[in-house]
Amino acid sequence: MIRLSVRFARAAALFCLSLPLIQAHAQTQVPPAPAQTPATPTPTPAAPAPAGPPVFPKPDPANFTAVTPTKDDVNAFLQSNWGYDENRMWQVQAILKTPVDGLSKVVIFIGDKTGKEKPQALEFFVLPDGKHIISGDDVLPFGAHPFTENRAELEQRADGPYRGAAGKNFEMVEFADFECPHCKEAQANMDKLAVDFPNARIVFQNDPIEQIHPEALAAAEYGVCVNKLGGNTAFFQFAPAVFDGQEGLATPDGATLTLNSAVTKAGLDPAKVSACAQTAAVKDQVKASIKLASDLGVASVPMLAINGRLVPANAPYDTLKKIIEYQVKQDGITQ
């Protein structure tokens, strides 16, 4: 669920460097790679030729006018983002100086080794600090290890209930909204991840989108109090009950009944949780969680931060698991 329509560009910019299934949609905003010359048609019908990798045009040395970043820098950045996908292929086509001192324009051609996806072109600008790019309308981290700063922020500021390991060396932080249907769908993935990655610390971080989900903020505040009064075990009984009864959050009265029922299922007193949810400290904690999501560039929910790497939590599970395994390896974590 996109937070606000004006933030769509940020989501597209993030996703074009994330999942192939989302990338194809995001990249309709950039020009396609030059079409290859079609083969001469045969006079009689023939079986289609087997698909194969695209052949990119040979890069022109005249299109590498910027001193930084180097081609190796760009390739290392793309390897960090795309290395999990054995079928992904790319070619750095240009690294150009711009009229702005230190600002470089990078052009990449992207393809699929199986030939199933149409080749695409991606353009972004590397900022003078060498640590960020402008892609679409947003600023994203750049470098061989682009998720390091996000990872450090999460280690310091992610304070939601968690399951799994107590340590933060391998941390997955889910940003979610209790009233968001896509977040409800993502819970199946989150439960599988808890089983497949028992050494991970899996954190639930509130990111309610009150503009379109009026009762999501109250649900988040209840969740904070359930965790305060009953700990992680109580919260992970409360949360599934709220998602299961999500339709009840459609009205204020329904939300009260749904949340109180979920509190009871978690073994706590609804009156005590309700009183806790009205306190300034709890409201401030939810606001801080929303601020954390915004600071990290979380443009939509459900979102999963894997040691700082943002990936939609409702992505196909096999793809999600592959990205996690790759990121863990990149970070030198032994499973």
DSSP per-residue string spanning 139-167: EEE-SSSTTHHHHHHHHHH--S-EEE-SS
Q: In this structure, which topology does domain 149-330 adopt according to CATH?
A: Glutaredoxin (3.40.30)
For residue 2, give the DSSP letter: B
- By the 10 Å C-beta count (0-12 exposed, 13-18 middle, 19+ buried), 23 is classed as buried
Can you give the pTM of this predicted structure? 0.85
Contact 320, 196 (CB under 8 A): no
CA–CA gap between residue 274 and residue 238 (Å, rounded): 14
Q: What are the residue ranges of CATH 3.40.30.10 in the chain?
A: 149-330
Residue 304 dihedral angles phi and psi, to the nearest 5° = -115, 125
| Number of residues that make up the chain | 335
Contact 289, 160 (CB under 8 A): yes
Q: What separation in angstroms does the CA of 259 have from each of 141, 212, 232, 236, 296?
A: 38, 19, 17, 14, 29
- By the 10 Å C-beta count (0-12 exposed, 13-18 middle, 19+ buried), 298 is classed as buried
Contacts of 4 (CB under 8 A, 6+ apart): 211
Q: E strands within 38-135? A: 88-97, 104-112, 120-126, 132-135
Residue 244 dihedral angles phi and psi, to the nearest 5° = -65, -35
Residue pLDDT tens, the chain, 335 long = 544 333 333 433 444 555 443 332 222 223 333 333 334 444 445 545 557 899 999 999 999 999 999 999 999 999 999 999 999 999 999 999 999 999 999 999 999 999 888 899 999 999 999 999 999 888 899 999 999 999 999 999 999 999 999 999 999 999 999 999 999 999 999 999 999 999 999 999 999 999 999 999 999 999 999 999 999 999 999 999 999 999 999 999 999 999 999 999 999 999 999 999 999 999 999 999 999 999 999 989 999 999 999 999 999 999 999 999 999 999 999 76
